[in-house]
Amino acid sequence: MLRVSIVGVTGYGGGELVRLLGKRADVKLIELVGRSAAGRPLGEVFPSLAPLGLTLSAGDQLERPEEADFVFLALPHHASAEKAAEILENAPQTKVIDLSADFRLRDLATYEAWYGSHPAPYLLKEAVYGLPELYRAKLNSGVRLVANPGCYPTCSSLALAPALKGEAIIEPDVIINALSGTSGAGRELKQNLHYSELNESASAYGLAPAGHRHLPEIRQVLEDQYGGPVEVLFTPHLLPLTRGMLATCYARLTPAFLAEHRDPKSVNAALRERYRDFYKNDPFVMVVDSPPTTKQVQTSNYCFIYPTADLRTGRLVTVAVLDNLVKGAAGEAVQNMNLLAGLPETTGLEMLSVYP
């Protein structure tokens, strides 16, 4: 039996963790901490979770971290790092899976440039980046701190890794146009998320010069795959969807690849074969035969990927979709817990999408 605590259970990420873990026979939820609803039934915070009959912890702090095998932190950055440091100091046997960005960037200066001062920089070295498809070999029972990836980095990195790794078939200069639903921004109310501001509308954000905080994370992952510098132009967009993320990624195909593939039909078959081979041991990645939609993966832990070549422009165009709260957050976090616990990676995550 795995003993699990969740901090930040009043937010979307925390609620989704309870949805994924609450019915598992091999998991016991021991502390559910949410500062704005201490002591209240979880069903009051998330009526959809009422059938579980759970109640939040009486206080706004984790009281017994040492009793948990795993603590999930579903908090904003900074608050997460402070909590992770406290847990790892007081309960050295407990493993922490952090959904925030606090431990994702290996380089402190890069973190501080995008997020400000780091509350626990000494933990950066210890954290393992939890994108199982690309870092599985590092996700084992010896790990105490997992940096769960961002939703945009998961979606875009999975879309591009097979083209960059090994003998790269694209130039290391990529463009990512990504779309997200509103739950990606969390449960807190913000003006641009009001129904009347967002409905029947779409917007780009995180443009230069400021850029979006997921940019350095995407670059770090792609550079790990490529083994050298990768230029990334990343533009996120907000759409009036509740859940869902779609990334369309572009890059120039290498002259060697183009010389070998001149037929528009067979080039796509070759690309799909390369991608399928890359993900042959990854139960949650499916390389599909037609452009996927966000609805096809909604509420599931799957990422569907469609690579194609536009031979007129000599570019790779890859479309990837996932559910930002599942494969982009809580589902990936549970996948990481399974790996650290030595369980099959798919445990409790095999549900299919709700469709239509």
Near ligand NAP by CB under 6 A: residue from 187, 237, 252, 295: 187
Rounded (5°) CA angle 118-211-189: 75
Task: Indicate the residue among 23 and 190 with the shorter CB distance to ligand NAP.
Answer: 190
Residue labelled with tokens 């932190």: 73
Rounded (5°) CA angle 330-333-338: 125
Q: Are 148 and 336 contacting, i.e. CB atoms less than 8 angstroms apart?
A: yes
348 binds ligand NAP (CB under 6 A): no
Q: Are 129 and 147 contacting, i.e. CB atoms less than 8 angstroms apart?
A: yes
Near ligand NAP by CB under 6 A: residue from 57, 100, 156, 300: 100
Residue 278 CB, nearest approach to ligand NAP (Å): 24
What span, in angstroms and rounded, lies between the C-alpha atoms of 86 and 41? 26
Sort strands 315-322 and 245-253 into parallel, antiparallel or unpaired: antiparallel
> Rounded to the nearest 5°, which phi and psi values hold at 174?
-120, 155
The residues, any chain, with a CB within 8 Å of residue 331's CB and separated by 6 or more, are 16, 20, 284, 300, 301, 323, 325, 349
99 binds ligand NAP (CB under 6 A): yes
Q: If DSSP codes are grouped into helix, strand and coil, which group holds residue 286?
A: strand
336 binds ligand NAP (CB under 6 A): no
Near ligand NAP by CB under 6 A: residue from 123, 151, 271, 303: 151
324 binds ligand NAP (CB under 6 A): yes
- Pick the stretch among 7-15, 24-32, 155-163, 305-313 that binds ligand NAP (CB under 6 A): 7-15
- Pick the stretch among 6-14, 169-177, 252-260, 347-355 that binds ligand NAP (CB under 6 A): 6-14
- Pick the stretch among 89-97, 125-133, 185-193, 219-227 that binds ligand NAP (CB under 6 A): 185-193
Pick the closest to residue 107 from 234, 232, 223 (CA basis).
Answer: 223
For this structure, is 151 an active site residue?
Answer: yes
Q: Which two tokens stand for residue 196?
A: 């009347």
294 binds ligand NAP (CB under 6 A): no
The residues carrying an active-site annotation are 151
> Which residues make up the interface to ligand NAP (CB under 6 A)?
8, 10-14, 34-37, 74-77, 79, 99-100, 150-151, 183-184, 186-188, 324-325, 328-329
